[in-house]
Structure 1
Amino acid sequence: MKIVVIGGTGLIGTKLVGRLGDHGHEAVPAAPSTGVNTLTGEGVQEVLKGADVLVDVSNSPSFADEDVLEFFRTATGNLIEGAKDAGVGHYVALTVVGTHRHPEIGYFRGKVAQEDLIIASGLPYSLVHATQFMEFAAGIADTSTKDGKVHLPSAGTQPIAADDVAAAVGRTAASTPLDGRLEVAGPDVLGLDEWVRTVLTARRDPREVVTDEQATYFGAVLSHDTLLPEPGAQLGETGLTEWIARSR
């Protein structure tokens, strides 16, 4: 199959393109650097010609609330139009577990807008909802640092390795459309504070992680299950200990 990967030069996209190619598919990476700009529509029609599947693992270049919302609304609208014109038979999008639980998180609002547009498009689709990537622990620490200490709640998480996300998205892309969602998560259930503390310790980052139940996560106070998948989620193979050992 010809599978076009929007965001195909990023963290997940690069891994996904490689995996799909290894399984005999024609995987085409699409990004501004390859001449495809989903915000302006440049190159979208051309890259989707003859495509069987469109996979969107792209991300907003700015994480400001309004920028994220505008990105996902505009980019998804352009992709839907291009997919319909090209006769694409399966639209796959990578999104986030818990997007509907905290509308006060700007990024979640953007992803909900993306999901709603895809569902309403009439195209056969699959939405892959993933938990937080293990690779993002340091970034979460950076945004949660105050006076040299990292303040995070003990809300539950099941962080997943990027390799396992790419594998799940690849399997979904090569399968029959779900016309629904699939949740994927890592095998370990950890507190958000515990996860980040473990990664920082392994990297010899001297910052202390303080358990603070009132600390916000991108502006939201979390409940225990906000970031956790529902029962029956597909679990990745890579635990946090193994991922840390590999990343060294």
Structure 2
Amino acid sequence: MTTIQRPVGELIRRWRERRRISQLDLAISAEISTRHLSFVETGRANPSREMVLRLGEHLDVPLRERNQLLLAAGYAPAYSESRLDDPELAIARDAVRRVLAGHEPYPAVVVDRYWNLVDGNTSVGLLTEGVAPDLLAPPANVLRLALHPDGMAPRIRNLGEWRADLLGRLRRQVEMTGDPELDRLLDEVREYPGDEPEAGFPRRGDIFVPLRLCHEGTELSFFSTIATFGTPVEITLSELAIESFYPADDATGEYVRRLAAARGTIGA
């Protein structure tokens, strides 16, 4: 298969249009003339390496795609990409594992750009209990785990609103990155059977979309927070996200702590 390399000017224009930013606004924020920006986008001017990086920053282009801009302009990539188990990422890897361990007895997962499960604490088993083994085989994808009919979906009491929230997050990610692999994932998971979003309106008084999950006949309620590295200049770290689940009510917190104590995973 032959990959067609688009001119850097065309790529910059596509990113600008994806962000719904005018040439004038981008030129002002990047401190260049609209004439020069127009020349870059039409291929009449070749941007310097510094200019490509500056435009990528002001357009909030992900690091992976900033490297593609540089390559299209004839420059070497600026951002490295390592495996999470590489020695260079040992400090970051240790920090992630401390966060996961410190969140016990509540579930927490680490996912990559494509929602693949990178790591998780022992309490993740509370969420994945009963999931089909093939969905848990590496690389397990947390969207498939959550929404596939052989995954968590049958146990999610508010599948409509939870599904709508996950699909909305993925849709925004597709818009942000323009990644065709994410677009294919979106096409796949939204075809899974399940309640339509309108069937799962939040209850009156809710301040977030909870995950209402049945566990051994008991309905549990969780909300989640997402953490990312604040100033990454390495692609792998820039694409990691830690999602931590917290009890949304006292009954859930008590149930999870009691279950963990009974299993000996953490003190009550």
Q: TM-score range by the shorter chain?
A: under 0.3
TM-score if structure 2 supplies the norm length? 0.25
TM-score if structure 1 supplies the norm length? 0.26
In proportion to residue count, which structure has more strand? 1
